[in-house]
Amino acid sequence: MEVLGYPLETVYLFGLIIGGGLVFIFILLSDVLEGMFEFLSSSIFNPTLILAYVTILSAAGYILEISTSLHSLIIFIISLVLAFVLVVLLNVFVLIPLSSAEASLAYTEEDLKGRVGKVITSIPEEGYGEVVLSGKGGNIAKSAKSFEGQPIADGTEVLVIDIKGGVVYVSVYEH
């Protein structure tokens, strides 16, 4: 069977090459392109799903055309169904969980204010020591200075009051 004067295998192969190339470009430029297609992202026209659908449809059609003797219409229907099922599985088991996952384990200095930590290197009266702040993302060790200007022994629980220049200003934590 031919489409626009080209054998169907060639049409599927071109679709596979173009779809695969667009997937590669989308991966490289995903942040920029995601912003351009943001108005479509919440609807069914997700660019990732569309590109995956075209690529899977073309790959399945090409493989079935060259390896079986089925009628081209049956191959096209099988390819449509297979691409639909795989894209739905991709969306449900990969894309949706990734979109709802924690965006980052990074923290800002403002996030540290009000957290309780433990002194691991004692803080002298007018000097610097070190505290470790435990959290869900792991432990954070920061240089520390006493907020009141009084010495704090190691092992003491402290409360982060302020942060300036990457140094946390702490005070003894009283339960």
State pLDDT tens for residues 86-104: 999 988 888 778 777 655 5
Q: Which CATH number covers residue 132?
A: 2.40.50.140
According to the model, what pLDDT value does residue 129 have?
Answer: 92
* CB burial of residue 114 (10 Å; 0-12, 13-18, 19+): exposed
How high does pLDDT run on average in the chain? 84
Identify the domain boundary among 52, 78, 100.
Answer: 100
More confident residue, 109 or 94: 94
- Asked if residue 122 and residue 60 are part of one domain, the reply reads no
- For the cut 60, the answer to whether the pLDDT of residue 116 exceeds it is yes
Identify the domain boundary among 56, 72, 100.
Answer: 100
- Asked if residue 61 and residue 40 are part of one domain, the reply reads yes
Share of the chain above pLDDT 90, in %: 35
Please state the pTM of the whole predicted model.
0.55
According to the model, what pLDDT value does residue 145 have?
Answer: 92
Identify the domain boundary among 80, 100, 120.
Answer: 100
Task: Tell me the residue range of the domain where 140 lies.
Answer: 109-172
CA count, 13 A, side-chain hemisphere, 64: 19
Number of domains the chain contains: 2
